[in-house]
Structure 1
Amino acid sequence: MFIRPFKAVRPRADAASQVAALPYDVYDRAEAAAAVEGKPLSFLNIDRPETQFAPDADMYADAVYEKGRELLDARVADGTFVSDDAPCFYLYELVMDGRSQVGIVACCAVDDYLDGAVKKHENTLEKKERDRIRHIDALDAQTGPIFLTYRDDAAVDALVGQARSREPLYDFTSEDGIVHRAWIIDAADEVEALAAAFAAVPCAYIADGHHRAASAVKVGLKRREEHPDYTGDEEFNFFLSVLFPASQLAILPYNRVAHDLNGASVDEFMVELGKRYEILHAQDTPLEPIDKGAAAMYLQGKWYGLGVRSEFENDHPVDGLDASLLQNLVLDPMLDIKDPRTNERIEFVGGIRGLGELERRVRMLDAAKSAEEMAERGPAVAFALYPTAIGELLAVADAGMLMPPKSTWFEPKLRSGLFIHRLS
């Protein structure tokens, strides 16, 4: 696996905590606007430049992307951002609830993505790609790192450990309690040694950031068309990544809320559900699945423990996933949610939001229904899933298959703005 050092554009040390921002896509428009209030250095101003315009302005207008470039240039000009003189690798550590994960900040090759050395497990949506393509193109930079993972390698671990023994570039705790630390690897011999060690790693896997990766690659291909004499060494042939060993990562569940029962009564729904999942018990307090094949359901104020019936268990890399079982046994045949990527009757809730968020959304959906709507469509229902294991993600990608949408929720989230990769 090829990784390449780069000259990062990055915040000076005393500004890093003010600059670092959650990824652009964890916010809706109103949330993003609220998040930047009183925070002029937050990178979210640059990542979501529509926050600088009226709420009803077209967030995809050319002027919006131009504003992002203007803000980035202004932060470089005023010294908020500095640039390293020579290509470097960096380390990025995040600590959440006492658990540490340390990734290598580097550039990966567009050709490795195209050739399958950077493996995917999700499809992407063209609309979401278009926005980031325009953002990258306008800024002439990649600003949101792709979250990659790889199978642990002892030689790489040793070099990472050596670099972490020095004083960090950054060391701060964000508002959500996550500790962020970063180190620079700038000595030529250490840069060469890390690149050589990583060359023995056969492949990397996209953990989070499929749309950012696809967009970065498409900008690279676009630049190749614009520069038919390209050599392959230009920066647009590479994309910004942070690569973590798989053993350090934790995946949270990605839960589902269906808006209604597709016209079934509660009794009818429960009978059909019982043919697919054993309904183990019911209680008034939240239930969290404790093993693969288990799920929890919230319906009309009660929580139900569910266990998939043995006849539906299987070892297929995709069909055996808990998210697939729920989709194939319940959401599609019972609730008529055939394509969860486009169906407007389903919502996805990251596990970091907790089971209380599922209760809140179900109550809100039911409260908004008239008596006629409730009688016609039935109440809302939520499903809490057992989290996908990192080994399952690797197995799906190794098999060249795709997971159902919204199968994994990684925490903690990488911050944007700490490392920027210029394309020219």
Structure 2
Amino acid sequence: MAIIRPFKGLRPKEALAAQVAARPYDVLSSEEAKAAASGNPYSFYHVSKSEIDLPAGIDTHSQQVYDKAAENLQQLVKDGILFQDEQPSYYIYKLVMNGRAQTGLVTASAVADYNNGIIKKHEFTRPDKELDRINHIKTTLAQTGNVFLAYNDVPEVNALIERWQEHNKPLYDFTADDDIQHTIWAINTPAAVQEVTTLFAEKVPCTYIADGHHRAASASLVQKELQAAGKITSVENPANYFLTTIFPASQLAILDYNRVVKDLNGLSKADLLSRLDYDFTVEETGHHPLQPSMLHEFSMYLEGSWYRLVAKEGTYTTDPIGILDVTILSNNILDKLLDIKDQRTDKRIDFVGGIRGLQELVKRVDSGEMKVAFALYPVTIQQLFDIADSGNVMPPKSTWFEPKLRDGLLTHVI
């Protein structure tokens, strides 16, 4: 069963929450972070993307960058911009985007659960990205990035969270510049804290990583290193836990995660369309962007026109991995026709989150940067659970979750 603990959140003054809040470090470039933090000394980008305060061109994985992150975090605390709660609490985090709300529980989840498979994964991690987060955690002595978890709904947990929102004033309630509303409450009475802990221990057999595989893996590796060095002497040491926000599955929406490719692997347009006909029904639909409307349907943008592709029977299997549209695309087009064997390392392919819309695909192809684009129908949350339960992993860049949690509102100090 899931082990969670309350923690003493490091968080901003209420009046400064909107200025501190920053998008996750890995969804924007250094240049974008620098522009977003311009004129705002309180922005958490000074911690999560601290290269913005160092000379242009610096290696973002250098120790100087991590040292600057620690310095900036300490300065925010010294200046009273951030402070740490005096008692361990759980926190409720509600996000509203385009009228749709999702509400999660911010907790410290057990590293042991991650190691033992109680927290289930669906992606491989890359050592270079793990090392980046390891160095950031070890230098700042804080987990500044949230791991987004999901779980099958538990009515008692949902009811407790709803009651708390009804009867308690939020710590923060603001709408960010992207029109996403962020509201946070603290569950801080001993009775309520104990109720939450017990409910998860009795009612939640496992949780699933929706977003944040590298952050979770890094927390585990830091804990292992500290334990080997004899620096963890108690089971309740904060390093035995990592920062998570856990959402009920019924409230989550996964967006499409689309692909753009630089060339046709020596094929002409006519060659590609002819070869696609073996595995797909192909229909040209015109110049207007076409969003796939069901599983196994794809949209392709090539030389100014959109095409509807529907996978034929026999091009996929019914196992949890084989039935995924990202697998169908990978096996029957990217690998078979375009010779892209490893999407994680091949420089000819790039990925575009569905939040950017199909116009982003048009833009990148029409600019000449890319030759062809493919739009996919989103993976379902049940597909994600099925794959994690089976012990398999999804192809890279299969899921895109929105809205994103903000960094800086709650930090877990280790």
TM-score under structure 1 normalisation? 0.95
Per-residue CA deviations over 1:330-379 (Å, capped at 9, x if unaligned) read: 0001100000000000010000001110011112235xxxxxxxxxxxx7
What do the CA deviations read for 1:102-156 (whole angstroms, capped 9, x no partner)?
A: 0000001111000000000000111111111101110000001100000000111
Aligned-partner Cα distance in 2 for 1:317–1:58? 40
- 1:411 is matched with which residue? 402
| TM-fit CA distance, 1:311 | 2.2
Structure 1 residue aligned with 2:100: 99
Instruction: Decide which of 220, 224, 238 is 1:221's aligned counterpart.
Output: 224
Per the TM alignment, residue 28 of structure 1 is displaced from its structure 2 partner at its CA by: 1.6
Give distance in 2, aligned partners of 1:174 and 1:246. 24
What is the distance in 1 between the residues matched to 2:234 and 2:355? Answer: 44
> What is the number of equivalent residue pairs in this alignment?
411
Q: One-letter code of the match for 2:194? A: E
Q: 1:282 & 1:163 partners in 2: Cα distance?
A: 50
The secondary structure found in structure 1 opposite 2:314 is: helix
Letter in 1 for 2:148: F
Aligned counterpart, 2:152 = 151
Report deviation, 1:262: 0.3
Q: Distance in 1 between matches of 2:237 and 2:34?
A: 35
Q: Corresponding residue for 2:23?
A: 22
CA contact (8 A) 2:354 2:400 kept: yes
Q: SS in structure 2 opposite 1:223?
A: helix
CA distance in 1, matches of 2:403, 2:232: 41
Structure 1 match to 2:170: 168
Aligned partner of 2:116 in structure 1 is 115
* 1:375 counterpart residue number: none
Is 2:411 the partner of 1:420? yes
| Paired position in structure 2 for 1:85 | 86
Residue number in structure 2 paired with 1:187 = 189
1:385 to 368, 376, 381: 376
1:49 aligns with 2:56: no
**1:250 equivalent in structure 2:** 253
CA distance in 1, matches of 2:114, 2:45: 27
The structural deviation recorded for 1:228 is 6.3
Counterpart code for 2:397: K
| SS in structure 1 at match of 2:91 | strand
1:33-66, Cα deviation, whole Å (9 max, x unpaired): 2222112111011101111011122222222111
Cα distance in 2 for residues equivalent to 1:99 and 1:295: 26
Partner letter of residue 255 of structure 1? N
Gap regions ≥5 residues in structure 2: none
Aligned partner of 2:210 in structure 1 is 207
Once superposed, which parts of structure 1, at least 4 consecutive aligned residues long, lie more than 4 Å away? Answer: none
Partner secondary structure for residue 196 of structure 2 = helix
User: Aligned residue for 2:362?
Assistant: 359
> How far apart, CA to CA, are the structure 1 residues paired with 2:338 and 2:233?
51
Q: Which residue of 1 aligns with 2:311?
A: 308
Aligned to 2:69: 68
Q: Secondary structure at the match of 1:192?
A: helix
**1:34 to 2:56 alignment:** no
Aligned match for 2:267, one of 259, 264, 267: 264
Q: Aligned partners of 1:323 and 1:343: how far apart in 2?
A: 16
| Larger CA deviation: 240-249 vs 277-286 | 277-286
* Matched residue, 2:391: 400
Amino acid at match of 1:182: I
Give the corresponding residue for 1:334.
337
CA contact (8 A) 2:254 2:401 kept: yes
User: Which of these residues, 195, 198, 206, is aligned with residue 196 of structure 1?
Assistant: 198
Tell me if structure 1 keeps the 8 A contact 2:226–2:232: no
What letter is aligned with 1:136? Answer: I
Amino acid corresponding to residue 139 of structure 2 in structure 1 = A
What runs of 5+ residues in structure 1 fail to find an aligned partner?
A: 367-378
Q: Which amino acid aligns with 2:375?
A: A
**Paired residue secondary structure (1:312):** coil
Give the equivalent residue in structure 1 for 2:320: 317
Q: Distance in 2 between matches of 1:110 and 1:61?
A: 27
State the secondary structure of the residue aligned to 2:367: helix
**C-alpha deviations, 1:62-90, integer Å up to 9, x for none?**
22111111111111111111111111100
Percent identity of equivalent pairs = 47
Compared CA separation, residues 44 and 228, structure 1 to 2 (3 A): closer
Query: Partners in 1 of 2:68 and 2:347 — Cα distance?
Result: 32
Displacement, 1:29? 2.2
Question: Is the counterpart of residue 177 in structure 1 residue 179 in structure 2?
Answer: yes
Render the CA deviation track for 1:356-405: whole Å, top value 9, x for unaligned: 10011112235xxxxxxxxxxxx711000000001100000000100000
1:203/1:78 Cα in 2 relative to 1: closer, same or farther (>3 Å)? Answer: same
What amino acid is the match of 1:172?
A: F
| CA-atom RMSD in angstroms | 1.1
Deviation at 1:265, TM superposition (A): 1.2
**What is the one-letter code of the residue matched to 2:399?**
T
Indicate how the Cα distance of structure 1 residues 107 and 229 shifts in structure 2: closer, same or farther if over 3 A, else same: closer
Report the TM-score when normalising by structure 2. Answer: 0.98
Q: Is the 8 A contact 2:284 2:305 kept in 1?
A: no
Tell me the residue number matched to 1:376.
Answer: none
Measured after TM superposition, the shift of residue 225 of structure 1 is 1.1
Give the 3-state SS of the residue equivalent to 1:21 in structure 2.
Answer: coil
1:279 to 262, 278, 282: 282
- For residues 228 and 89 of structure 1, do their structure 2 counterparts lie closer, same or farther at Cα, with a shift above 3 Å needed? closer
The residue that corresponds to 2:239 in the other structure is 236
Q: What SS does structure 2 have at the residue aligned with 1:100?
A: strand
